[in-house]
């Protein structure tokens, strides 16, 4: 379970870069889509931070 956020963060970061470089869609660069995926990548890293500090007070259990 602790590996999942890291994998998702990496996938989101790669998609963000592909959007920014115009490789995801043939129609060109999609800056905003890239920003959204970069934001999701950061959120996944935050999720990892909470998951790696496994205790009853993790985000999912407390919120």
* Contact residues for other proteins, defined by CB under 8 A: 31-33, 35-36, 39-40, 43, 46, 49-50, 52-53, 55, 57-60, 62-63
Q: State the nearest-atom distance from the C-beta of 21 to other proteins, in Å.
A: 17
3-state class (DSSP) for residue 45: helix
Is the distance from CB of 41 to CB of 16 less than 8 angstroms? yes
Q: State the nearest-atom distance from the C-beta of 15 to other proteins, in Å.
A: 12
Question: Of 14 and 59, which has the nearer Cβ to other proteins?
Answer: 59
Could you tell me the sign of the dihedral formed by the alpha carbons of 40, 46, 51, 56, in that order? negative
């Amino acid at each position: 379970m602790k590996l999942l956020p890291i994998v998702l963060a990496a996938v989101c970061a790669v998609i963000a870069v592909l959007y920014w470089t115009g490789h995801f869609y043939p129609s060109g660069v999609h800056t905003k889509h890239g920003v959204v995926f970069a934001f999701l990548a950061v959120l996944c890293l935050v999720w990892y931070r909470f998951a790696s500090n496994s205790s009853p007070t993790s985000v999912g259990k407390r919120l």
